[in-house]
A and B are shown apart, each in its own frame.
Chain A
Amino acid sequence: MKHKRILFLTLRIFSATGGIEKVCRILGKALFENTFSGNCSLEICSSHDSFNQAKENFYFTADCFNGFENKRFKFLNAAFCKGIKSDVVILSHINLLPIGWLIKLFSPKTKLLMLAHGIEVWSLPLGIKKKMLNACDEVLSVSQFTKDEMIKLHGDSAKKYSVLNNCLDPFLPILANQNDSKDLRSKYGFAPIDKILFTLTRMDATERYKGYDRVLQAMALLKNEFPNLKYIIGGSYDKIEKNKIDELIIELGLKDNVMITGFIPDEILKEYFLMSDVYVMPSYNEGFGIVFIEAMYFGLPVIAGNKDGSVDALLNGKLGTLIDSMDINALRNAIETIIKSSSKAKVDKDVLMANFGYEVYKEKINGILN
């Protein structure tokens, strides 16, 4: 990398636990490590986080971090002043496009990059932001699907669209010496003979594309043949959606087969992965789905939809099973195939790491910045 002042603008990095925030933390780490060469400097400005939230993080030193705690004007002012002096500005979200556009207006030499994650770039009309896309030198989409959707909707508004797949968090626990899955099952009230399906998602009445309702329907088709089939839905939820899903569970006669956990802290998330047999999430609007590669990292076979960014995460089916997410029978059959196999279907770890390892991600970032 040759002598660059890099400014990374984000909405949130630490004050939320979603996929976008995770991507921002990992990108922050990659950018921070690049400063070790002496050839670039880094500043990270977050609109919503506070400085205190950054001080204990493992990804990058808080010395390069500015948290504006929702003080929008201060954030915009700092972002603009720093941005026009920067060689590269990276926007973590399309909502930051106006400030990126303004920076580019006053400093055309500044290279403007924007991350495109998923639903946020295609779910709503962009309005004026569509014109602002012109200011972007490169839009980095987390999957081919996101890239295609953007081009479909916004044409060639940006100068260049490219794909930068998400990667595994380098701070995921190393898998040697983990607890035996039998112990974990007993800890969470499951029997050794249970076959456990797992989905990690926010249950949100306004974002209902993850497909857990269809997993329940597929389970109903399998329950007689596999009475020990269990399903864990992990992640925070809103009341409306929870009530709706509870009703569906009762309606399908799956009351004893389903566990809805609510939010699972990162520290114990690995235990859910380790005790499960299959990760299943037949979504149809996934930007990428970091959770798929995380599940595979923990050795879980994965079932995902074949119409969205999940295709990238599963390497076009090379790493897991892709199905038509709306086809309940296909879902049923995919689950059956996996749970019928005597041992967990093997995930090819070498292929996984060669495509979604942190080192590979960093190499791609360096390529883009240079």
Chain B
Amino acid sequence: MCRIAGIVNFNWSTEKNQQTVENMCNLLKHGGPDDGGIFTSQNGALVLGNRRLALVDLSQAGHQPMHYQNRFTITYNGELYNYLDLKNQLIQLGHQFSNHSDTEVILASFAEWNVHAFEKFNGMYAFALYDQSIEMLYVVRDAVGIKPLYYSVKDEQLVFASEVNALKNVDFNWTKNENWPVFLMAYGHIPEPYTTFKDVSTLHKGSFIKYDLKNRKHSIQSYDFFSFSQEINHSNNLNSLIRNQIEKAVQSQLVADAPVGVFLSGGIDSSILALLSDQYKKEGIQSLSIYFNENEYSEKKYQDLVMTKLKGEKHQFLLSKYDFENQLPQVLESIDLPSCDGINTWFISKHAKSLGVKAVLSGIGADELFGGYPSFQRMNLARKLSLTPDFLLNLFKKNTKKPFNRISYLGMEGIKGIYLFMRGHYNVHEIATYLEADERDIWNIINDNPMMGDIKQLPTQNQASWMEFNLYMQNQLLKDADVMSMAHGVEIRVPFLDKGLVKTMFSVNADNKFSGKMPKQLLIDSCKDILPEQVWNRPKMGFSFPFSNWMKNNSYLEDLMQDSNKNTKAYFNDFKKGNLHWSQMMSLMIMKTRNEA
């Protein structure tokens, strides 16, 4: 895992291109503390930069940008979990390797299979690979969209980086995306492909930019994606099929030459990862957990239960109000694209860093694939409600109680309306009031950006899975996990998003996948032999974090909001009265710190 940046610019001098990439790399240093380097093409128009967090082949042989056959050069961020399989195939085909890294396997794969290599990769990555013999640059993002990659093509010049923050200072005369506060308030994040700049986009998952330096043209092409189907059912011995896939994913993601741990929250997903990974490592797996003094939010007793079954080192960290107050400004500073969440990931990653753990497994993806969210039960109702005439839906727009205040979103076409009804933060009326804008304009901004089709043809619960996987997880969870962990130079690995497991889960018949009394029944049944019953058969916890209480009396927040406009103050008062969720307040804080309120 690393951070990457690069530029293709024919208008600037070689020195300016190099300086630009070096500056970007310096801004990304937190995510790649171990090493750094840049590569410049012969004509000086192309410069690739890298900040390295060494996990596989820690020696200098893994230095990046890396070269192959005096023809290919790569700057790479990520992990390729099937690199040993590919390496064996490539050796059979006559390729020779000079180091043990997965980076060189990507280079050799490209040398052998060209762009068809990308679909063979199983992992999380974003990389730029230059073929100097034909002067072609490929900028590639993984199929699940775990690693982010932001880019801009302006007047034939291309610039890209792992974080938007790194692009900010590039001398490209960026245009601010005036809509981002609207997105943040509606979604709690900025949905792909948008960013805070009009001319910077997120590269779509499973796609690559092909930039031809000879004619200065580029195109974006898809190379992999997932489609739902119904072909696997119980007759395929589903439990053992899923169990095998999970085990395979966990095993492959434990491969590293640096310490790997697991985030153990005490829930089903992370407990499965902890229990399985502990079996595969001789000395067990290091587990890292956060707990709170506030018992109603703390999952400590479930963590303790799972920890008794682990042979590896156990680390539990108390996250107190005091820590939260002290570190909140730093948390906000670490955020790249505005987002209302990720606080807990920031803290647990900080502890991982202090322990010297460089990579940690996280349970992201299980809720989306196995049906862990309430949306899986509510989708049917939402579909029916969305048939209600708009004028009736709009009657609720001034209602202050969730979810009634979000009903009006159902007037938006297709899955977007349903997503915002279920997961939206502020409704159109609230956003318009806050931003002192016309409601119709706000409606149009949200309705038209991004354009989304509908997925009505899918079984209802697969619609929920599609929505959580492609919208919530993609735009919120994965971005937060990446940025907040890399703020400390720690890599988060997500075994439930292993390509093979995702493809399998997308192919399981929805009735089989989501049947059973409990949410995620299939996951539970697949791992029941190792998972303590108290973990999967426990009362629901209404709230996951005590942040609301902590933020109500937070001096930093008070100071921040002191010189706000009347709307911000009014919302802050609402929050203090308990009428706003802490994550809604986070959105306002971010706008405030970025001078948008």
Contact = CB atoms under 8 A, between A and B. Distances in A.
B116 A41 contact: no
A38 B207 contact: no
B112 interface: yes
Given A38-B451, A42-B453, A33 B220 contact: yes
Contact of A4 (B210, B220, B451): B451
B553 interface: no
A141 B277 CA distance: 58
B227 A61 contact: yes
B451 A35 contact: yes
B229 A43 contact: no
A359 B138 CA distance: 14
B193 A37 contact: yes
B222 A174 contact: no
Nearest to A5: B451
A63 B219 contact: no
A43 B453 contact: yes
A38 to B, nearest CB: 3
A3 B451 contact: yes
Q: Is the interface of A mostly helix, strand, loop or mixed?
A: mixed
A47 interface: no
A39 B114 CA distance: 30
A40 B451 contact: yes
Contacts of B455: 63
Given A170-B221, A359-B210, A176 B114 contact: yes
A62 B227 contact: yes
B450 A359 contact: no
Given A39-B451, A51-B457, A55-B227, A363 B219 contact: yes
A67 to B, nearest CB: 9
A56 B112 CA distance: 24
A52 B227 contact: no
Contacts of B113: 174
A33 B222 contact: yes
B453 A3 contact: no
B550 interface: no
Interface residues of B, number: 39
B518 interface: no
B228 A62 contact: yes
A62 B229 contact: yes
A32 B226 CA distance: 13
Given A62-B229, A63-B466, A64-B453, A36 B112 contact: no
B225 interface: yes
Contacts of B119: 58
B458 interface: yes
A61 B457 contact: no
Interface residues of A, number: 37
B210 A61 contact: no
A65 B91 CA distance: 40
Given A3-B451, A37-B201, A38-B450, A32 B193 contact: no
A243 to B, nearest CB: 41
A36 B204 contact: yes
B448 interface: yes
A3 B112 contact: no
B192 interface: yes
Interface string A345-365: 000000000000011001100
A35 B193 CA distance: 10
Nearest to A177: B112
Interface in B68-106: 93
B448 A3 contact: yes
Interface string B422-460: 000000000000000000000000001111111101100
Contacts of A3: 448-449, 451
- Residue of B194, B457, B466 with highest tally of chain A CB at under 10 A: B457
Contact of A63 (B192, B217, B227, B451): B227
A65 to B, nearest CB: 8
B504 to A, nearest CB: 13
Contact of B217 (A38, A358, A359): A359
A42 B114 CA distance: 29
A54 interface: yes
Contacts of B448: 3
A63 B228 contact: yes
A66 B227 CA distance: 12
A29 interface: yes
A41 B193 contact: no
B591 interface: no
A61 B112 contact: no
B115 interface: yes
Given A36-B204, A41-B452, A55-B227, A66 B457 contact: yes
B228 A174 contact: no
A62 B222 CA distance: 14
Interface string A68-91: 000000000000000001000000
B376 to A, nearest CB: 17
Interface in B392-441: 413
A41 B447 CA distance: 12
Interface string B110-126: 00111110010000000
A276 to B, nearest CB: 23
Contacts of A60: 222, 225
Contacts of B210: 359
Contacts of A40: 451
B456 to A, nearest CB: 9
Nearest to A67: B457
A45 B234 CA distance: 30
A52 B194 contact: no
Interface in B208-244: 210, 217, 219-222, 225-229, 231
A88 to B, nearest CB: 12
A83 to B, nearest CB: 14
11 contacts: A5-B453, A35-B453, A38-B193, A38-B450, A41-B452, A51-B457, A61-B226, A61-B227, A62-B227, A63-B458, A176-B114
Interface of B: 93, 112-116, 119, 191-194, 201, 204, 207, 210, 217, 219-222, 225-229, 231, 413, 448-455, 457-458, 466, 507
Given A41-B453, A173-B116, 15 more contacts: A33-B220, A37-B201, A43-B453, A54-B227, A55-B229, A55-B507, A61-B227, A63-B458, A85-B413, A170-B221, A174-B113, A174-B116, A359-B210, A359-B217, A363-B217
For the complex of A and B, list the 5 residue pairs with the smallest distance between their C-beta atoms, beginning with the closest.
A38-B450, A62-B227, A36-B204, A174-B114, A41-B453
